[in-house]
Chain A
């Protein structure tokens, strides 16, 4: 764990750096796959780029809206370079909506576009695991297993390492053995299903789970729902959609 790196009086947030590297790698892969899937790579790249930018701005504005009186007193704080004053869930929703609107306006076909995003998202998940390892977040439950790591005063499951291993395996699976016909969206669904299954499995070893009701781990319940939805949709998307077929005919 190395959450910060001090260089003189300057403090680098290493998890943030890992995420930035993940975004860079993901964007490069998305651009490459968009070209391979005969999509307008500039449009796909811009869709992701604007989704990210508007997501970050939205996350700050949503945070400021929550503490409106504070930001009214010190409006310049809106521009502070501090990730602590972001509302991540709101930002993700706003960014996703912005990307969808952009894709719709540029008439990007849904399923080939989702397939173009797959390898990039899978690479970003590896960076996310690395960021967790550096920050010590997403930590494991106490264990006596020989590979346990000392973290937060106890020997714990190295869940961040498990997370990275599974993310690498998923990346290799969707990159090397993509599922379905070119651009029919099945490879994206495979990524979603595998990621949900990985979380469902890993959550059992986590020490920070949010608990619902009689001991149910919230992330497992949600992951099981996502896994089932992805598998159900895979059955429905087995055949290429008319829009993706016409995309490859043109």
Chain B
């Protein structure tokens, strides 16, 4: 078919054009009607666990640096920021002071920061030194086997997941360093929602 030929073929009188419009509307409407679903059949309903926006954050239990254990599911009802890091990663070092500042400002409003050290590719001694160097006060967890990094499909360090009070991931930031403005705006979004 040559350019412009289509225009010749669709030249039809007005009544036939309106008939086409009605047919298209009826077919489109019927398809829309047939495609209706319940909210549970899409992520508009209950999202399955997966490390991405709109889905439930996969649960985990990890050892804390300094002793004890912590599970993500224990924190349901609170705004949680999960940050996967390593001591040798320059953007992780660059963004950690901003995370600490935001945590200090907003912990009383219900912010929890979980700093998951990717210990399987780092070392516990280096993590201890790092925490002391930056004076970190939030919980630091140790992913010794890489199981949590695998579940969160870690592709780059740092990776940060902002999880709302319902346990749903609302934002994912891969790479860094994150600006303080980015961290604050994402956290504020979570904290503004009613518990």
Contacts and interface: CB of A to CB of B under 8 A. Distances in A.
A250 interface: no
A77 to B, nearest CB: 2
Interface string B1-36: 101111100110010011011001100110110111
A34 interface: no
B194 interface: no
B174 A9 contact: no
B7 A84 contact: no
Contact of B155 (A4, A64, A181, A208): A4
B10 A179 contact: yes
A227 B28 contact: yes
Interface string B179-191: 1111011101100
A71 B25 CA distance: 47
Contact of B21 (A136, A220, A231): A231
Contact of A208 (B6, B11, B42): B42
Interface in A128-143: 136, 141
A208 B30 CA distance: 21
A209 B156 contact: no
A178 B174 contact: no
Contact of B182 (A77, A215, A216): A77
A74 to B, nearest CB: 4
Interface of A: 3-4, 6, 9-11, 13, 63-64, 66-67, 70-71, 73-74, 76-78, 80, 82, 84-85, 136, 141, 152-154, 176-182, 186, 197, 200-201, 203-204, 206-211, 214-217, 220-221, 223-224, 227-228, 231-232, 235, 238
Given A141-B37, A211-B38, 9 more contacts: A4-B156, A77-B182, A80-B181, A85-B181, A85-B185, A136-B52, A178-B3, A179-B10, A232-B21
